Amino acid sequence: MSVRGTVINLNAFGATVRLETGELASAPAGDVDAHRAQYERSLTRRTPVAFARSDSPGRTTVSIAPQISDDRLEGQIAAYLKETEEREGEQPAHERHFLRKKRRAAHWEVK
């Protein structure tokens, strides 16, 4: 489960995180070492970070939530945005739909 929280303490054994719900959670030292810059930024700036939460009896642990990085997907999104930019001169889809319905209704109107 994904939650947001702010790092309130860094030490040799990991980190302590205050979740948005007010609960305290611990982050293992291995995750802190792997993502030290994010943990330090959250500690110094008091900015929330997305964490993956795992509950075990008696304690809550968190680790930095994985960030999706897919170059192929990024390229597809850029191509789509470029394509829609080229179509800006066209009438929006909802207006085309409305006008088509209006014409069809006018055909069946009783005069």
Superfamily of chain region 2-64: Nucleic acid-binding proteins (2.40.50.140)
pTM, 2 dp: 0.60
Which pLDDT score is estimated for 108?
81
Amino acid present at 24:
L
Which pLDDT score is estimated for 1?
79
* Phi, psi (rounded to 5 degrees) for 108: -100, 0
Percent pLDDT > 90 in the chain is: 52
49 close to 4: Cβ distance less than 8 angstroms: yes
Start-end ranges of CATH 2.40.50.140 in the chain? Answer: 2-64
Which pLDDT score is estimated for 10?
95
Residue 6 burial by CB count (10 A; 0-12/13-18/19+): exposed, middle or buried? Answer: middle
The low-confidence residues of the chain, meaning pLDDT below 50, are: none
